[in-house]
Amino acid sequence: MKHYGLIGERLGHSLSVPIHEIIFRELGLSADYRLIEVPRDGFEENVRPLLESLDGLNVTIPYKKDVMPLLDGLDPVAQEVGAVNTIRTGNTLTGYNTDVRGFSEMLRHAGLNASGQHCFILGTGGASLAVRTALARLGAASITFVSRHPSGEQISYEDLRERFSGLLVNCTPAGMFPHPEGCPVPEPILREILPRACGVADLIYNPSETVLTRAAARLGLPWCTGLTMLAAQAVEAESIWQDMPLPEGLTEILLKELVV
């Protein structure tokens, strides 16, 4: 039996175990998948044994960049993104980023088109870097990062009042279970900017609708949350671990069976 897992700081919201169990069932694999919460203190000491003992690892908040120095190399997509969410173990530890494909599939599934759009990414963590890469590949007219503590070319949430028009993408955990009442954009600013949006994409998948996407829905805007991205990136991760292409339609099977 092979053994896989997800490392992150807090994983109570995760659907990764049922996702990978469905994939194992569909592929007829003898394998298991577990959630492994890793504290920030002692990160390296806790993760190195996992890299040696497991057949593959996924990585989530807040370690998508922190794990990179522990690896022997990166595939070209992870190198471009500057963050890792999937690790292939063995004689060589290689980092991958399947979030790029996952996010692209999420937009396609929801009918959201980034081509030619001005795109604003809320948050600057590892997931936001994959989103930037995906949006650039999809032909976005411009990509702007929004941060509570902006630096460089990043802008503040207050700046959104004047700057925003186009596609809004939330890469922050604001609004995620167990605090679904949260929203990354203060309500007065949200009211001002959403009429100028062509759509809203929220990477949060639990809950299945967020404060942000409900506000978009009230205005009749196209919107999506992150379950499709989660499923699609997991399928690509398994393809990497099993070293083979997986059956078409596997992401759709996951979306039909998963319950948030």
Residue 64 annotated to the active site: yes
| Catalytic one of 2, 64, 65, 256 | 64
d(CA 235, CA 218): 32
d(CA 56, CA 33): 9
CA atoms within 13 A on the CB side of 253: 17
Q: Residue 2: beta bridge partners? A: 31
For residue 71, the SS3 value is: coil
Retrieve residue 17's tokens. 């175990």
What is the full DSSP assignment across the chain?
-EEEEEEES--TT--HHHHHHHHHHHHT--EEEEEEE--STTHHHHHHHHHHH-SEEEE-TT-TTTTGGGSSEE-HHHHHHT--SEEE-SSS-EEE--HHHHHHHHHHHHT---TT-EEEEE--SHHHHHHHHHHHHTT-SEEEEE-SS--TT-B-TTTHHHH--EEEEE-S-TT-TT-TT--SS-HHHHHHHGGGEEEEEE---SSSS-HHHHHHHHTT--EE-THHHHHHHHHHHHHHHHTSPPPTTHHHHHHHH---
Residue with tokens 């990414």: 121
Q: Which amino acids are annotated catalytic?
A: 64
